Amino acid sequence: MKVLVFADSHGDSLSIEKVMRRFYPDAAIHLGDGVDDFISLESSFPHTKFFNVRGTIDSYGDPDRVLVLDNVPFYISHEKQENTGAKVALYGHTHTPALYINNGVTYMNPGTISKEYGFRTFGLIDVFEGEYSCEIKFVDSLVL
């Protein structure tokens, strides 16, 4: 299962759409601050499962949630949380990409996909039968 992770799009739905068309993921996650940019694309990708949480500038949605994708529990929120009980904790808010493991939990902040903030980044996660790998990708290094 290929999962794309976006955060802090702040009105830049075009960058999300280009990345989605490059990868055609099985699932896509938006970690807030621009959820409308993400939701507006849902009908264009009928074979992709969309998940999102509310950021500080979004007016609706859950502040956090737990997802299980191919037997891997994910905790998603706009701001970083500890002790979530998940194998993977995804968060946004800082606009700075981060990927590290602490106490057996993989933490990923995909950074920002927005052109307003300099370099644009997103997360790519491959999940298969309880195993996973995570990486940060730079939009400008892709052929879109």
Q: pTM of the predicted model, to two decimals?
A: 0.96
Q: Which amino acid is at 67?
A: L
* CATH number of the domain that residue 23 is part of: 3.60.21.10
- Has residue 83 got a pLDDT over 90? no
Instruction: Please say whether the dihedral angle defined by the alpha carbons of residues 70, 99, 111 and 35, taken in this order, is positive or negative.
Output: positive
* CB of 66 closer than 8 Å to CB of 43: no
Give the total number of structural domains in the chain: 1
Which domain does 30 fall in, by range? 2-141
Q: Rounded to 5 degrees, what angle do the CA atoms 44, 111, 45 make? A: 10
Instruction: Tell me the pLDDT of the chain averaged across its residues.
Output: 95
